[in-house]
Amino acid sequence: MNSRILIAIALLALAGALAFAARPHEATADERTDEITTELRCPVCQGLSVKDSTSETARQMRDLVAQRVREGKTDAQIQAEFRAAYGDWIFLSPPVAMAPFYLKGVAPAWVNINDIFRGVLPYMMIVIVSMIMLYTFPQIGLWLPNLIYK
Amino acid sequence: MMLVRIVRIGVVVGILALVVTLALAFRRDPHDIRTGTVNKRAPAFTLQRLDGSGQVSLADLEGKVVVVNFFASWCLPCVQENPALVRVYERYRSSDVVMVGVDYQESRANGIGYVQRMGMAWTTVADDDGRVALSYGVFGPPETFFIGTDGIIAGRHIGPIDEETLVTAIEKLRGQASSR
Examine the domain organization and report whether A46 and A75 are in the same domain.
yes
Question: Does this model's pTM top 0.80?
Answer: no
Examine the domain organization and report whether A82 and A121 are in the same domain.
no
Give the model confidence (pLDDT) of B3-57 as tens digits: 888 888 888 888 888 788 777 666 655 555 556 688 899 999 999 999 889 999 9
What residues of chain B have any CB closer than 8 angstroms to a CB in chain A? Answer: 3-4, 7, 28, 33-38, 40, 43, 105, 129-131, 133-140
Report if residue A65 sits inside a domain.
yes
The pLDDT value recorded for residue A24 is 65
Strand partners, B68: B100, B145
Tell me which chain B residues have a C-beta less than 8 angstroms from the C-beta of A85. Answer: 36-37, 43, 134-137
Report if residue A103 sits inside a domain.
yes
Examine the domain organization and report whether A48 and A85 are in the same domain.
yes
How deeply is A45 buried, as exposed, middle or buried, from its count of CB atoms within 10 A (0-12, 13-18, 19+)? middle
Of the candidates A68, A90, A112, which is a domain's last residue?
Answer: A90
* C-alpha–C-alpha distance, residues B65 and B171, integer Å: 9
* C-alpha–C-alpha distance, residues A150 and A109, integer Å: 49
Examine the domain organization and report whether A83 and A44 are in the same domain.
yes
Report if residue A12 sits inside a domain.
no
Report if residue A110 sits inside a domain.
yes
Tell if the CB–CB gap between B134 and A148 is shorter than 8 Å: no
Examine the domain organization and report whether A111 and A66 are in the same domain.
no
Domain of residue A36, CATH code: 1.10.8.640
Tell if the CB–CB gap between A108 and B37 is shorter than 8 Å: no
Strand partners, B145: B68, B156
Examine the domain organization and report whether A72 and A108 are in the same domain.
no
Of the candidates A90, A108, A137, which is a domain's last residue?
Answer: A90
Count of domains in chain A?
A: 2
The pLDDT value recorded for residue B29 is 57
* C-alpha–C-alpha distance, residues B173 and B147, integer Å: 8
Min Cα distance B33 → chain A (Å) is 6
Report if residue A2 sits inside a domain.
no
Q: Which residues contact B172 (CB under 8 A, 6 or more apart)?
A: B154
How deeply is B104 buried, as exposed, middle or buried, from its count of CB atoms within 10 A (0-12, 13-18, 19+)? buried
Give the model confidence (pLDDT) of A104-140 as tens digits: 788 887 787 788 888 888 888 888 888 888 888 888 8
Report if residue A3 sits inside a domain.
no
Examine the domain organization and report whether A33 and A86 are in the same domain.
yes
- What are the φ and ψ backbone dihedral angles of A41, each rounded to 5 degrees? -85, 135
How deeply is B73 buried, as exposed, middle or buried, from its count of CB atoms within 10 A (0-12, 13-18, 19+)? buried
Structural contact between residues B162 and B81, judged by C-beta atoms closer than 8 angstroms: yes
Q: Which of B53, B61, B49, B75 is nearest to B128 (CA)?
A: B49
ipTM for the predicted complex: 0.75
Q: Between helices A56-70 and A75-86, what is the axis angle to 10°?
A: 140
Q: Which residues contact B74 (CB under 8 A, 6 or more apart)?
A: B106, B110
Tell if the CB–CB gap between A108 and B40 is shorter than 8 Å: no
Q: Print the domain residue range for A112.
A: 99-148
Report if residue A134 sits inside a domain.
yes
Of the candidates A55, A72, A90, which is a domain's last residue?
Answer: A90
pLDDT exceeds cutoff 70 at B102? yes
Examine the domain organization and report whether A79 and A48 are in the same domain.
yes
Structural contact between residues B127 and B103, judged by C-beta atoms closer than 8 angstroms: yes
Examine the domain organization and report whether A73 and A103 are in the same domain.
no
